[in-house]
Amino acid sequence: MQGLKGYNPDNLQPWTVQVVTSVTVLAACCVALRLFSRHLKAQKLWWDDYFIMFSMVRITKFCSICNRVQQPNQW
């Protein structure tokens, strides 16, 4: 893992926040494509779609908090 940018074995917090944030953005794109496909097929949203949207809102808030904790002087 020595060749990864931002990797510091003594402080993994910035690297972890970057990984979690990038995976969350990828998940948000997948959810957006899922909702768009439901719209194109004229299908109504079902309970699983609402749970996915609820989860995306929660993980977005979590990532926001993690970024603020990583950079406390920007509050």
Would you kindly state where each structural domain of the chain is located, as residue ranges? 23-65
Tell which wins on pLDDT, 73 or 43.
43
Query: Could you tell me the pTM of the whole model?
Result: 0.72
Q: What pLDDT digit, counting tens, does each position of 5-55 carry?
A: 767 777 777 777 788 888 989 999 999 999 999 999 999 999 999 999 999
Q: At 74, is the pLDDT very low, low, confident or very high (cuts 50, 70, 90)?
A: low
CA distance 40 to 62: 31
Which structure tokens are listed for 58? 């929660």
| Contact residues for 57 (Cβ-Cβ < 8 A; gap 6+) | none
